Structure 1
């Protein structure tokens, strides 16, 4: 099938009927409208690499549902196979030069991107939740290596694509995000039986995994320090060099901690807030990097993105707000200092893995937000330095 075939009324009708089998649906017409793809990093980086159109496509769908006339603006997300994304990232590694050129290849399918084509589909299908966008259809088109998500168009919402506007993240928005992600984490803590483990079999963080990839973490760090020395100072780089050596030590502790399904891309590029007439309601999308880790990990990332130097002093307050909700729901996080220690260990993983991969891409196609985020991240380590291994 051509990509354009996915926008035809009969195809969308089939998709929507499969998603809502309890309803009688008849699609009458479909009109396309433009959608900005620039906020999707993987879509942007993959553009032109597959010979197929991938990305986000706006569709105004007019249909009958149980005899009632409906019209909804939707977005069709056309995803590439994880092989394509992993291969693209290997190309970026080679473009970075040494040491990544020599080091990256054996780890190509182990950096968390190999199953991005399936993880998001499985999360939406098996674990629907109120904090996700409304999903109208899902499809695995294996012969054509295209994977589809038909979701609501996120319009008339707050803080959509706000990664360049951290000043707009007020206390109300930050606390709503922390509250809802805590509830998600608790709902899935110590429970990965719902999802097909095949798509989470090789690259879920663990002591063994983090030690196996030690050469890659060091190569990513050296490359980042070369490309962004004003943020990766000698002191900051030293913190992560030390972390690489101490992976066995801090992962001995992390291995004993409860794990949950984390979003693993929990930041303003994938967050907005719906207005329901009362307080803002979190909407969290793009679940393709979802994996299993300590729940603290998502919060490390989130606060690195939304805090600016003027409110770095609020980081511990927001950590405590999140801890209190986790503990209220589970009774397992009463010790505040122990919680901060695990938070610090999760931060080490985030710096080595996600920020290392971000920097690899940034050096080829710069992300204006990234230096600010990494600066905020290193403030996390400085505030918790006394707890590091």
Structure 2
């Protein structure tokens, strides 16, 4: 088939044979494969009024959004809606807004009117003639209605309005078009009406137009215009909701005041930009629904003109409404007869001649849902983060691994290897399996809320000497993964706690955990490395957000993973742990500034950050007092808050004492013992929470998680003094016993305030057996500090 053979005749042939001829021609002459496009379910003979030159179709993913409760004149009930889109995070945001509206009682929606127009252009010799024509033509409104009725059952001419510009008349034919969008219908009807006008002009008047066009661009067909916003085009529809403060906090993660402030800022920007109307991202809903429902895609931008309004009610609720003045939709004609689109219309109950009003109310309600959700994300600084998580399409291996198959030789070549391995990366890699039985608690919980591959994965690496080395790959969750998990847990605890955590993520000690462990464990100081798993290499790729440790695969250790078996923790193990811990603490004791310079990834919990966390600590206290009375009595609530209120005093007291690098998660989940030359030696892993603190902080956590609630004052004194003596010996520094005991008291209460609430939040959602015993032990240790410890 030659170029000449692809004539209009071939474009207008609606047979399967003609389609195959077009495909064969394109494949040969354009040197491209169209196998995917050619594969479709359409009957070519049924598309004569839909498309020309038909060759196939493209698939657009369709997702389901909602549910959304709507109280409309036409749409009443709970609606799920189909959205055809390739934009990640869109449907998630739509559904969040729908949930907020539904839990606030649902959206009220009403169609305010429907009109379609065609505005033909008549040009005369002078403005006098243009004015004469304008007076003449409006007298024939009824005659024109009769003429139009000869060409359409649905188009109803409701108004005829001349607009004079110079010597031209733009004649506005205003229609109601029932269930059809009406652009093509009104074009045909208007053309026949204009032929009637031209004939009547010639027969009864001396007015002779120099020029006539079916449209002079004043109909705003498929264009954004102030005329459409003011007077309406297509369907004018409004949806509104009163959002409760509780829903704003629990679902949208903002307060009504935050949301109304954000609204004022974006409204200011809309005015400065000269925006027609004011909305956040209505076009996303319009485009996705239009594509799924067989609407005219070219009408997306004019249909997306919208006016979002928000106001704070006297009762604290937030009033939100959205008006769509020019929603050009139809439920008959156009692409609505196509099988996939008809199924989607049927799902909404909107197919057929009675569906347009219902569809308009559904679309407006979902537009309101998305604008509420998106503005909330912007106000809470989650907009970019949600797109980063759900919406970005990075090239393969340009992001963190998401499957075991990503862990190939190329991945391990990105690591920086320690001298114990050698400078060259492995020549081959064998992934054994995934292993989650020894994940840190943070990783285990975070993995449920992220599509990233994370946790411990056994791997065998083969080096250049063809030696097989069994290692454990530890893929770190990002701190944002941890915060997402925390917000999920907080939402199940209380709206106030969710809001407080959302506001404090940059302050708490879980910030920056993904890169902190990588740098802390990647050291050469033997005083530290002898007590850690061997580190063969590390991966820190800020661009792809990949953070990993290639470490020794631990096995055969005593007391490994014995969180729920503390009866095995005999005094000899506690003393060995304290001795190793003291040598670790001695390395950086009293070198606070040098430590922070060495490890800038540390999230310092100083006086300033503690004071900034007071709202969070208050929210935790209220939650624990209401939901966890077994662990948090009214007197303990008051005592807890007294420490919160006096934080400036005791935090500054801590800062005056010698501090060091502490593990900050020193408990039986993360420590065990090697057998070295017939002696036990501490081994401690999971350093993601390592920080600058009093050395007693690690002792506190060890005692809480390894001792019973009947621990005696003598036992506490023994272990505390042993820690002090060991630290004196390793640091070659005298340590005052009275100050040392005071530091223990401060570290104990700091642990109670900062860490225990997070444990209890997780325990409230998912039961952890070790929590009950640990809380009893903690309660006893705190009680003992209210009386002097034995010397």
Shared topology, TM-score over 0.5? Answer: yes
Q: 1:12 to 1:102 in 2, by over 3 A?
A: closer
The answer to whether 1:361 aligns with 2:758 is: no
Alignment equivalent of 2:481, drawn from 52, 60, 84: 84
**Cα shift readout 1:220-255 (whole Å, capped 9, x = no counterpart):** 122223333222223333332221122122223212
Aligned match for 1:379, one of 776, 780, 787: 780
The alpha carbon displacement at 1:217 in A equals 1.4
Matched residue, 1:101: 498
Q: How does 1:77-156 map to 2 (within 5 A)?
A: 77-126=474-523, 128=525, 129-156=529-556
Q: CA deviation at 1:127?
A: 5.7
User: 8 Å contact 2:436–2:444 — kept in the other structure?
Assistant: no
Partner of 1:199: 601
1:330-386 per-residue CA deviation (whole Å, 9 max, x = no partner) reads 465543232111110111111000111111222112221112112211211111114
Does the CA contact (< 8 Å) of 2:509 and 2:689 recur in 1? yes
Q: Deviations over 1:256-279 (max 9, x none)?
A: 111111111011111111122411
SS of 2:430 mapped into structure 1 = strand
Question: 2:412 touches 2:426 (CA, 8 Å); kept in 1?
Answer: no
Preserved contact between residue 90 and residue 105 of structure 1 (Cα < 8 Å) = yes
For the structure 1 residues 135 and 61, does the alpha-carbon distance in structure 2 shift closer, same or farther, using more than 3 Å as the test?
same
**Superposition deviation, residue 327 in structure 1:** 2.4
- Any stretches of 5+ residues in structure 1 without a counterpart? none
Query: Hey, what's the Cα distance between the residues in 1 that align with 2:434 and 2:628?
Result: 35
Change (3 A) 1:258 1:44: same
How much does 1:168 deviate?
0.6
Q: Which residue number corresponds to residue 158 of structure 1?
A: 558
Aligned pair partner of 1:72 in 465, 469, 478: 469
**CA deviation string 1:132-166 (max 9, x = no partner):** 10111100132332211111111111111111111
**What is the Cα deviation at residue 112 of structure 1?**
1.3
Contact between 2:431 and 2:459, CA under 8 Å: does it hold in 1? yes
Gaps of 5+ in 2: 1-396
SS in 2 for 1:329: helix
| Number of the residue aligned with 1:329 | 730
Distance (Å, rounded) in 1 between the aligned partners of 2:708 and 2:739:
26
User: Does structure 1 residue 246 correspond to structure 2 residue 659?
Assistant: no
Change (3 A) 1:276 1:39: same
TM-superposed deviation, 1:209: 1.8
Q: TM-score, normalised by structure 2?
A: 0.46
Q: Secondary structure at the match of 2:463?
A: strand
Q: CA deviation at 1:177?
A: 0.7
Post-superposition shift, 1:282?
0.8
Q: Report the more deviating stretch, 324-333 or 216-225.
A: 324-333
Q: Contact between 1:37 and 1:44, CA under 8 Å: does it hold in 2?
A: no
| C-alpha separation in 2, matches of 1:332 and 1:363 | 44
1:32 aligns with 2:429: no
Q: CA deviation at 1:31?
A: 4.0
Partner of 1:12: 412
Aligned partners of 1:380 and 1:96: how far apart in 2? 27
**1:55 and 1:61 mapped to 2: Cα distance?**
18
| Residue aligning to 2:96 | none
Deviates more, 1:189-198 or 1:103-112: 189-198
Matching residue of 2:658: 258
User: Of the two structures, which has the highest relative contact order with CA contacts closer than 8 Å and spacing of 6 or more?
Assistant: 1
Contact 1:90 1:108 in 2 (8 A): no
Structure 1 Cα separation of the partners of residues 422 and 467 of structure 2: 16
Query: 2: CA distance between counterparts of 1:147 and 1:90?
Result: 22
Please say if 1:219 is aligned against 2:619: yes
Question: 2: CA distance between counterparts of 1:125 and 1:345?
Answer: 30
- Partner of residue 342, structure 1: 743
Contact 1:92–1:364 (8 Å) recurs in 2:
yes
